[in-house]
Every structure is written in structure tokens, then in C-alpha cells.
Structure 1
Amino acid sequence: MTELRPIREEDAGAFLALCRQLDEETHFMMLEPGERTTTVEQQQDRIRQVLKRENQIILVAEDAEKLVGYISGMGGDYRRNEKTVHIVIGILQSYTGQGIGKRFFQALEEWAVQHDLHRLELTVMTHNQRGIALYQRMGFEVEGVKRDDLFVDGGYIDQYMMAKLLS
């Protein structure tokens, strides 16, 4: 079974490889293939910065010592937004449909409650029906539409802004 755990500094290379594979596999992530220029050292520094913050986390899914997915929750930098957590999730296509996304959201929400965080939010391309269905099952609601927000494959794409309040 795929194990979920917090990211560690020594995961930097494997995490970067996972992100690059996700860039290749799906059009639903932000970066296009080849656009990610982060070095292992830069990734390691970013992980270190996340680990220092009470309101930030990256959880990874590991199968047979290979990272196969992640969810990140990044709380704001200031008192006014530190209780709001922006979420990004990515799971390799060969691991979708196995309940990893649901487990990620359950673990992230448990962490958020333990850290007295209030709002979970994300954006999702409006044609990502599987993603939207997962987020709605996890209690997220559409709060608005960002029209023509991204330029993907030669055309503009709308995104939903979705959120879940914890208390």
C-alpha cells in the first residue's frame, strides 16, 4: 500500500523528479514540460523553508521507495492570511483512482485542524472533472470563476476557486 508521509529534505531529488513527471503527464498542473528549472539544491532549500513553518506542509505518497504523488498546503506569510492554506495536489496517472487523493485531503485537513488553521483553498481548471469531483467529495465548494485565467494548448482556460472552511 502507498504510504503517506511528510516530505524530508533528502526527498528533494525524488520530489523534483515527481514534479517533472507530472509536468509531462498532465495538462492540469501549472508548469509545462521543460519549464521547471529548479535545481535539487533549490528544491532542498524550499523544503527546508516549508519544514520551518507551522502553517505549511508537503505530504508525499511513496510506493516501493518511489514518490508517486504529493499535496502541499501553504499558509499565508502574514497575520491576516496565516490561517488560510493554499493547496496544490499532484498524483501520477498510474496511481490515480486508488484513493490516494482522498487520503491526502484527509491527512491535510487533520494537520490543518491540529494547527488551528481555518480555510483551505485551491484552484482547478473547469474541465478537470475528476479533480472537481474529488474536491467536492472532500467538502470544497466553488466560490467563483477566474475567467481565461490560464493559456493552455493554444487557448484560454477558466479556473474555479474552491474552498473549505474548517471552523
Structure 2
Amino acid sequence: MSIRLAEAEDAAALDHFFQQLDRETRFMLFEAGERPSDIEGQRQRLEAMAAAPNQVMWLLVLDGEVEGFALMIGGGLRRNRHCALVVMGLRSSARGLGWGERLLRTLIAAAPGCGISRLELGVMARNEAAHGLYRKCGFIDEGIRRNAYRLDDRDVDEISMGLLLPPDAP
């Protein structure tokens, strides 16, 4: 497996990956069938991301297939461009092998070079594996969003987490 930056040419593979991911996990925002397949839209998002200094996506790739992603979306205004939302997901075939940690640590290490000094994310309270991974990588619990999601017709809380990073040294 390798970890590399996503490029516009990855649009079709990424679109296929998200369709698979949505079928395999219950802990992402999209349920199976909810995310529209849109390769051109995916390409445009990747191109826009490449043009933004504080937005980037890493891909976890095995034998040419995308098996995971980690996305950092920095704020668009002066007051929040130092802060980035983190979103990540792994296919079931890549879980439990340490690849999620390597992917997240890659994102964390690169963040200061993108002008990011704060990372934040939300994780469903039932997703103990992801919550443990985020804590292992230095994120701390900052709050609870009560009943933020519905899963199996039950309300699920979201744990808000954050990680403060030193600014990039010149």
C-alpha cells in the first residue's frame, strides 16, 4: 500500500471508492445509495482543492485501488483559515492494519505546512475504533453534539474532537 496526494486524474477511482465505502460502513455521513455518482464533479472538487493552500486529500492505494482517504478542509476566511476539518474513511479491507493511523499521521504532519494550526473532526459516539484512533493520534474530546445522527432508527451522539498544532516554522 502507498499513501499519496489525490489528483484530478483520481476522480473516477475516488467516485468508485466512495460508492464502495458507503456500502461497507455505517459510520460515514452518506448511507449506501445516497451519494450521487459524479465523476466530473469529483474532478472539479479535486482541482479546486489543489488550488487552495489549506485543503488537501491523501489516498491510501493498494494495487491501483483506492482503499482509504484523509481529507483536510481549511477555512476560507482570514479568521478561520488556520483551522481545518478532517474527514477520513477506510474500506473494510484496510482496517485493523495500521493504515488508518499512518494516513492520519501523514495529514497531521503536513498540516502546519498548509498554514493549519488546528484540526477538528466529529466522530459518531458508537464508532469506538475511530474514536480510539483519533485519541491515539493526539486529538482530544471537546464536546458532544447530542442526537446529531440517526442510525438504525436511533439517535447517535457525535463527539467533537480537536488537535492544536504548532505553526510551521520558517
Q: After TM superposition, list the pairs within 5 Å mapping 1:10-89 onto structure 2.
A: 10-89=9-88
User: Once superposed, which parts of structure 1, at least 4 consecutive aligned residues long, lie more than 4 Å away?
Assistant: none
**Residue in structure 2 matched with residue 141 of structure 1 by the alignment:** 140
TM-superposed deviation, 1:43: 0.6
Structure-2 separation of matches of 1:48 and 1:113: 21
Aligned to 1:19, what secondary structure does the other structure show? helix
Unpaired segments ≥5 residues, structure 1: none
Contact 2:19–2:37 (8 Å) recurs in 1 = no
In 2, Cα distance between the equivalents of 1:3 and 1:29?
23
User: What's the TM-score, normalizing by structure 1?
Assistant: 0.97
Superposed displacement of residue 115, structure 1: 2.2
Equivalents in 2 of 1:122, 1:82: separation in Å? Answer: 15
Secondary structure of 1:151's match? strand
Range moving further from structure 2, 140-149 or 16-25 = 16-25
CA apart distance, 1:6: 0.3
Task: Check the 8 A contact 2:13/2:66 in 1, yes or no.
Answer: yes
Question: What TM-score does the superposition give when structure 2 sets the normalisation length?
Answer: 0.95
Alignment coverage as a number of residue pairs = 166
Q: 1:44-85, CA deviations, whole angstroms, 9 ceiling, x for partnerless residues?
A: 001111110110000001100111000000001111110101
2:129 partner SS: helix
For 2:66 and 2:93, the matched residues in 1 are separated by 12
Report the Cα offset of residue 38 of structure 1: 4.0
RMSD, aligned α-carbons: 0.8
3-state SS of paired residue (2:120): strand
Match of 1:108 in 2: 107
Give the SS at the match of 1:54.
Answer: coil
For 1:5 and 1:96, how far apart are their aligned partners in 2? 18
